[in-house]
Structure 1
Amino acid sequence: MPKINWETYRKLIPDKKIVDDLKSDLEKYKVPYPEDTLTPKIEEQWKALQPEIEKFCAEQDKEIEKATKELNRVKALPKFEDMTMEMFYDFYPDEALDPVNRPTFWPHNPEEQPGYQTPEQKTMKKGGGH
């Protein structure tokens, strides 16, 4: 409980005995509080979780580092308006059009190329269909 300044009450109340009785009654009164049995269990659970939390944080730090590297790489690229097809080929050789090594037919999307299979056909081929 907060500290009570009894001297202030003695100055305000004309009968000092009332203040003394109230003080003695309040000192005698004890509020029954239940015994705390859960705090040790909770602390034990936190200690058990600490390694998992640290592992998760380390994994997230690695992901953040990878994302930061990728972001810096993207920021270092030339602007879209300034990039030529040759520059695109240098930066992304697997995605750029390569008419010599990998010729494609107009409109150069996967659906229009010879041998294209829909995702459903690929699933059926792997034995995933019914």
Structure 2
Amino acid sequence: MASKRIAQSAVNWAALAERVPESQKIMLSSFKSKSDNYLRRVLANPEAPPKIDWAFYKSRIALPSMVDTFQKQYEALKVPYPADNYSSQVDDQAQKASAKIKDFVKESNSRIEAAQAEVAKINALLPYSEMTMEEFYEAHPEHAISAANPTAWPHHPEDQKAAENVEHH
């Protein structure tokens, strides 16, 4: 029976409180107080039921055979501990979630490396204020003004849409 008893709360309330949004902090504190009250009531009870002094009852009751019968029935009584049907399911879900988390971390690390490479590439460029038109074309050929990509003055994207409408009419 001792292995079945929970000696303390298995919930890390501080870690849980960090993840709960501000709008739900009141509900978390209410839940924590209910959980603490439940744990306090469980721990207030003894781990094992008190022992019955059968000899005391045999000496006081006129029919000792009745006490013997009660004693046999009491000792034969076994209250079954509920079967644990869900721990294996929870463990399976935790393993699946752990695998997904590892994949997500791996993918995130590759995205971080790609982003850091892009940042390093951008940091290696000359500042736009110091670039010539040729250097800008080499750095960003898709955005540069060229014979293959002509634009109308003042070369802003919103003005280009108006220029396209004028040319087609």
Equivalent residue number for residue 115 of structure 1:
164
Identity level (%): 31
* Long gaps (5+) in structure 2: 1-6, 8-45, 50-80
Q: Which amino acid aligns with 2:145?
A: L
Give distance in 1, aligned partners of 2:126 and 2:90.
Answer: 54
SS in 2 for 1:96: coil
Query: Within 2, Cα distance between the matches of 1:82 and 1:103?
Result: 23
Q: Does 1:30 align with 2:81?
A: no
The corresponding residue for 2:125 is 77
Task: Tell me the matched-pair count.
Answer: 87
Structure 1 spans left out of the alignment, 5+ residues: 2-28, 117-130
Change (3 A) 1:60 1:80: same
TM-score normalised over the length of structure 1: 0.53
Q: Does 2:129 correspond to 1:56?
A: no
User: Match for 2:150 among 103, 106, 127?
Assistant: 103
1-side partners of 2:153 and 2:109: how far apart? 44
Question: How much has 1:35 moved relative to structure 2?
Answer: 6.8
User: Which SS does the other structure have where 1:104 is aligned?
Assistant: coil
Q: Secondary structure at the match of 1:108?
A: coil
- By relative contact order (CA 8 Å, sep 6+), the higher-ranking structure is 2
Partner of 1:93: 141
